[in-house]
Amino acid sequence: MLECLEKEPLQFQVMIRLAIMTGCRLGELVALQFGDFDYQTNKVTISRSAYKLKGKPVQTKAPKDNDVRTVAVSADCIALVRLLQEEKLREAMRIGSKWCDGDWLFTQWNGEIMYPQTPSKQFAQFLEKNGIAHRKFHALRHTSATLLLYGGVNIKQVQERLGHGDVKTTNLYLHCIAEADEQAANVLQNLLISHKVTENSCSACNM
């Protein structure tokens, strides 16, 4: 997926990489502004979430459980964000007075904040175009949590990073890892049995 991502527009690349890196909820991701990033410390503050009610413009509110948090991101992510900011500035100059400057990372053609449902549609189209099994956009948040725990990050840190109000929610990912580990053991066991059967068969043939 990440290899295919390199062929996509910069805005979409930044969106997917930040989704995996930060574990942000979709609304939190859409509501990110360039001012939320500290280019010196490679950190981003998640302080709002975007939503849209029928017949009304996109609005923002506090994150779920009012959990404003600051998380570290990779230097590569920061570099992409800076490139995106430069791209937005060029686009603003090209469009002129039609550009609505809200400092948003993810925008419509005129600089207005992106509709919260747009990333889900774009992600589905991206997966289909590249022959990748369909997953909901929210799966990127699950991926972030699972990879962190699998890599040995403390569960409390993962909870704070994802903005889970209760560590019990984060614990659910540990069960997924445990189940995957059991499946891996079963696969190995089956392979070893198959190998033993093959060896016995070969021995019988030699007799």
Domain locations along the chain: 2-134, 135-207
The pair phi, psi for residue 153, each rounded to 5°, is -70, 140
Segments in the chain below pLDDT 50? none
Q: What is the dihedral sign for C-alpha 80, 82, 85, 86?
A: negative
* CATH fit for domain 2-134, picks 1.10.443.10, 1.10.645.10, 2.40.40.20, 3.30.70.580: 1.10.443.10
pLDDT of residue 147: 78
Identify the pLDDT of residue 36: 98
Q: How far is CA 30 from the centre of its chain?
A: 12
Tens digit of each residue's pLDDT (9 = 90 or more) over 12-52: 999 999 999 888 889 999 999 999 999 999 999 999 999 99
d(CA 73, CA 40): 11
Closest CA to 100 of 158, 161, 58, 64: 58
Structure tokens at 142: 């699950």
pLDDT at position 173 is: 56
Query: In terms of C-beta density within 10 A (0-12 exposed, 13-18 middle, 19 or more buried), how is residue 24 classed?
Result: buried
Residues 6+ apart with CB under 8 A from 30: 49, 50, 58, 106, 113, 114, 115, 116, 118, 119
pTM greater than 0.85 (yes/no): no
Rounded to 5 degrees, what angle do the CA atoms 88, 68, 162 make? 90
